[in-house]
C-alpha cells in the first residue's frame, strides 16, 4: 500500500493544449496515450476498479475522501499485464458492476509526479496531478507541496477543481 495525493480539475481543450506545452517545457516524460476502460465494482468500503488499457492494466483498490482540494488516497495496485482479460472475467463473477468509465488518457511524469490529460466519454476534459511515493519515502507534506506547485505551474484555477471521482460523476449524471 502507498499514499497518493491528487488534484483533479475540469479543463477546456484550450487549457489542455497549454498544459501539454508547460509539461513539455518542464521536461515531462510522455509515456503515451492510453485508451482506458475503468470498471468499478460494488464493494463494501473504498473503491475497487479494474483498469484495462493498452498501456496500463491494473486491479486497483483505494480509499479516498472526496475533497475539492488535494485528495489523499491509500492505494493498493496489482499489476496485471498479460492476464487482464482473465482477471476481468473472474472479477465480474465475484462483484456487481457499479460503473464504467471510458477515457482517452495522456500520461506524463516529472519525477514521482504523474500527470493525466483526460477526455472522459460523456463527461468532458480533465487534468489530474498525482504525487505519490510507492515506497512511502516521501513525506505527505512534500507530496502536498508538489501538488500545489504543479497546480500553480499548470495554471489550474481553484474553481475548476472537482471533488468526485469520474465514476461518481457518471453515476450522478445517469
Mean pLDDT of 58-74: 82
∠ CA 74-90-94, rounded to 5°: 70
pLDDT band at residue 69 under the 50/70/90 scheme: confident
Q: In the beta sheet, which residues pair with residue 74? A: 3, 63
Look up the CATH number of the domain holding residue 100: 2.40.320.10
The lowest-confidence range among 17-21, 114-118, 169-173 is 169-173
Q: Above 90 in pLDDT, residue 26?
A: yes
Q: Above 70 in pLDDT, residue 81?
A: no
Question: pTM score, two decimals?
Answer: 0.91
Distance CA 115, CA 106 (A): 8
Distance CA 165, CA 170 (A): 9
Q: Above 80 in pLDDT, residue 15?
A: yes
Contact residues for 9 (Cβ-Cβ < 8 A; gap 6+): 126, 127, 128, 151, 156, 157, 160, 161, 162
Written as nine digits, the cell of 170 is: 457518471
The lowest-confidence range among 78-82, 98-102, 131-135, 158-162 is 78-82
Q: Which domain holds residue 57?
A: 2-173
Q: Count of domains in the chain? A: 1
pLDDT band at residue 30 under the 50/70/90 scheme: very high
Torsion of CA 98, 103, 108, 112, to 10 degrees: 0
Q: In the beta sheet, which residues pair with residue 149? A: none
SS3 of the chain: helix, strand, coil, percent, to 5: 30, 45, 25
Cell 475533497 appears where?
67
Per-residue model confidence as pLDDT tens digits over 88-147 = 888 888 889 999 999 999 999 999 999 999 999 999 999 999 999 877 789 989 999 999
pLDDT band at residue 55 under the 50/70/90 scheme: very high
Amino acid at each position: 500500500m502507498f499514499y497518493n495525493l491528487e488534484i483533479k480539475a475540469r479543463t477546456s481543450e484550450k487549457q489542455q493544449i497549454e498544459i501539454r506545452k508547460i509539461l513539455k517545457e518542464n521536461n515531462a516524460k510522455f509515456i503515451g496515450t492510453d485508451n482506458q476502460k475503468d470498471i468499478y465494482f460494488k464493494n463494501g468500503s473504498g473503491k475497487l476498479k479494474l483498469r484495462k488499457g493498452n498501456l496500463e492494466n491494473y486491479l486497483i483498490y483505494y480509499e479516498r475522501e472526496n475533497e475539492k482540494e488535494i485528495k489523499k488516497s491509500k492505494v493498493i495496485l496489482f499489476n496485471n499485464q498479460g492476464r487482464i482479460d482473465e482477471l476481468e472475467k473472474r472479477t465480474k463473477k465475484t462483484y456487481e458492476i457499479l460503473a464504467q468509465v471510458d477515457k482517452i488518457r495522456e500520461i506524463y511524469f516529472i519525477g514521482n509526479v504523474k500527470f493525466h490529460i483526460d477526455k472522459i466519454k460523456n463527461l468532458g476534459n480533465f487534468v489530474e496531478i498525482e504525487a505519490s511515493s510507492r515506497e512511502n519515502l516521501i513525506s505527505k507534506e512534500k507530496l502536498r507541496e508538489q501538488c500545489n506547485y504543479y497546480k500553480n505551474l499548470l495554471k489550474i484555477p481553484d474553481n475548476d477543481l472537482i471533488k468526485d471521482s469520474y465514476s461518481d460523476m457518471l453515476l450522478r449524471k445517469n
